[in-house]
Structure 1
Amino acid sequence: MTAQTTAEWRPDPLLTIDDVAVWLGKPKNTLYAWHSRGKGPRAIRVGNTLRYRRSEVEHWLDAHTDPER
């Protein structure tokens, strides 16, 4: 990696389950249930906690947006 490439790269923020619950307007228990069933936005297990990449939540929202009429 060059110095210029390194300066341009930004990590995708990892959101807590609280962050995502507030964003989606859903209880945390719903997010835990979705995760255990393989539904909802993809999550990353960091130790014993779940983290969500912001881009994964945005992608999931896009995939579940009703088509225009």
Structure 2
Amino acid sequence: MARAEKLTIADICEDLGISRSTFYDWRQKGRAPRCMRLPNGDLRVRRADYDRWLTSLEDLTG
């Protein structure tokens, strides 16, 4: 069984063109994708969770 790809915060920020501080601000406000905290304290985002989060942001009215 293949393990799901896990993205770093740097990966997410680069993809979205945002700063780390913006990501952490969104996270504090509950607007960031779902994260997991590793035993060393680092955060990771599963690719599937990131893709779902991006889909949830689509503007279906425009």
- The unaligned stretches of length 5 or more in structure 1 are 1-8
> Is 1:17 equivalent to 2:4 in the alignment?
no
Give the distance between the partners of 1:33 and 1:56, measured in 2 at CA: 18
> Is the helix fraction higher in 1 or 2?
1
> For structure 2, which runs of at least 5 residues remain unmatched after alignment?
none
Structure with the bigger RCO (C-alpha within 8 Å, sep 6+) is: 2
Task: Calculate the aligned-residue CA RMSD, in Å.
Answer: 1.4
Deviates more, 1:32-41 or 1:58-67: 32-41
Instruction: Find runs of 4+ consecutive structure 1 residues off by over 3 angstroms.
Output: none
1:25-66 alpha-carbon deviations (Å, 9 max, x no partner): 111111111222222101111122111111111100000011
Residue 40 (1) aligns with residue 32 (2):
yes
Q: Any idea what SS the aligned residue of 1:18 has? A: helix
**Aligned-partner Cα distance in 1 for 2:2–2:61:** 32
Question: Structure 1 vs Structure 2: percent identity of aligned residues?
Answer: 33
Q: Quickly say closer, same or farther: Cα 1:66–1:11, change in 2 above 3 A.
A: same
Rg comparison, structure with higher value: 1
Normalised to the residue count of structure 2, the TM-score between the two structures is: 0.84
Give me the whole-angstrom Cα distance separating, in 1, the residues matched to 2:61 and 2:28: 31
